[in-house]
Structure 1
Amino acid sequence: MILLMENNIIQQLAHLRTKCPLVQNISNFVVMNNTANALLAIGASPIMSHAKEEMPEMLQLVNSLVINIGTLDVEWAKAMIFAANCANELQKPWVLDPVGAGISKLRNETLKQLLDLHPTVIRGNASEIMALHSFETATVKGVDSTESSSTAIDAAKSLNKTFGSIVCISGEIDYIVSDNEIIEINNGSPLMTKVTGLGCSSTALIGAFLGLGLNPFEEAAAGVAVLSLAGELAALKSNGPGSLQMNLYDQLYQMDTATLEDKLKIKRYAYSS
């Protein structure tokens, strides 16, 4: 099964670099540059646009949509909800990054409306995933997680059952949860937590792989796996957060079959609900 998953990701990466999927990003001010560069480095093409008025035309063109609520305001919230509706009408896959879920009424109400539109994939840290599951009991620390990723698995299963979304939990171990299977990825580096927006970059890469239009569960896993492995390899060559960010783009650009076969730590197993 491990070899099969590696082969799936290798094939998806090759397909992505051939297709160069166009990814619409409604993202936040902090990470726009980072995520656009990550998408370019892996072989996708980013559009960073937020105006509600151009969403119908944009969604006609793109292969997938990424919604990241990091620097939310009322007008952006309207654009996000409108874009998600457009994506659904056009049958385009979309991924939701619930940055800071649980920290404010505006954020929570926006997320509730977005969840009701059934994202193809949700990606967040453990605290964000647990907040999506139960806003009333959420324990948060800004946009940082207060929980280990494994503690959010039950919340992820519940979100999948309610909304049908593949749920990705980022942390020391990354988990990708479907209705009957879980993929675990044991790559990454603690140094990645010292660079802002690498979780958002993972979300953007998920969006790129979703643009292939094949298997959302496996595409979500590919996006998480490639970013986590690139971060791990970049950390080995870095003296600190600044050089990590630079080296990460290079590792994404250089990611190849041999590296995935040799370095990827992944397993896939079934579960019963």
Structure 2
Amino acid sequence: MSEKAEDSSIINAKDTTAALTGTVGAVGAALGTNPTMAPWQVALIAGFVALMPGVLAASSEAFVTRKRRSAQKFWDTITKKWAESEDKTPEEIAGLLEARKDEPHINETIWRSIRSLMEAADEAATMPLAVLAQDYLRQEKRPDAFFRGTVRLLQELDRLEMEELATMLNCALETSQRPQIIIRANLPDLAGSGDRYMLSVNGDGGGTRLFHNILSDPLRLFGLLEREQLTNPSGTTVWPRAGLDTIVVRTVAERLCKLLVLR
């Protein structure tokens, strides 16, 4: 997967802040006051903060508080999810991570996850990022194309978009067992809310199934998914007269659905 430049026609700023106060030192100090985080965790986050002045250097106290809360939830989710899968305690998992913190797959997985967490447009990204990170950490996998594309996607979406994405993918998976599934977003769904779009999904028998009141902005969502190569463009539809298509790869959709649990 290539690292593509952002398309300003697709990406809209979700959380623009202006004239905020604070410094990198204040952010690092605030994170460091959390007594439940291991020293190496605090050091990692402080290091990321120092390298991201555009996001955090001018942060307000409220912004720092939100990110500190997200960071704690991120670490807690990693240790708890991992502990549940191996019949261990979260404290044992935290000790394991600290003992192996210099291993490349741990460094890169945590780096990319925390960077996206700090830049996320919505705190709702915290749980999916943590679940994704713990899966790669537990399997001792270095971030691959799916990981990199997914963390970039999650940092751009707000909670509503994540919920809509999960609903859309589940509709596709329930409708067809095909390895590739075509999803079309038609014009605003007058049979539904009037401001969201109706989806049509190609079924196994060659027909289509309609889902009402699903997506609020398919142009943006499909564009983000295709930019990160998590779905594929069909290349056959003209927007908006005939609707907008994207092709879902079943195995990728299944992996995304497992992540998009926001509580």
TM-score (structure 1 length as normaliser): 0.27
